[in-house]
Amino acid sequence: MLVVVPTAFSWIQHGLIGGWVLAPGYQRPVAEAMAAAGNSAAIAKVLQITRTAQCLQCYSSSSSLGYIITALGSAVCMLSALTLSNENPNPRNRA
């Protein structure tokens, strides 16, 4: 899952910039946004002007949120394994 979600998000970003931008009505606004503020501004502009903008925004937000929650869950699991064990503290396990 940690590989699939970022890969899918990367494909969506490349599809937005490389696919829909090639349509004649989208080239100029996205090129202006890219020249003004870079890659992230171009992605934001594409998300604003496409027909499925709300769906794509929800998907990108939820996939980013899921990735962060997964990372935090793993960190909590590792910390709880270190601090909540019922064995005597071992100097090698201390941070």
Contact 20, 78 (CB under 8 A): no
Note the pTM of the prediction, 2 decimals.
Answer: 0.38
Report DSSP state, residue 94.
-
3-class SS of residue 38 = coil
Q: What pLDDT is stored for residue 39 in this prediction? A: 82
Q: What pLDDT is stored for residue 12 in this prediction? A: 75
> Total structural domains in the chain?
1
Across the range 17-32, mean pLDDT stands at: 73
C-alpha 11/C-alpha 33 separation (Å) is: 20
Residue 17 has pLDDT above 80, yes or no: no
Residue 95 has pLDDT above 60, yes or no: no
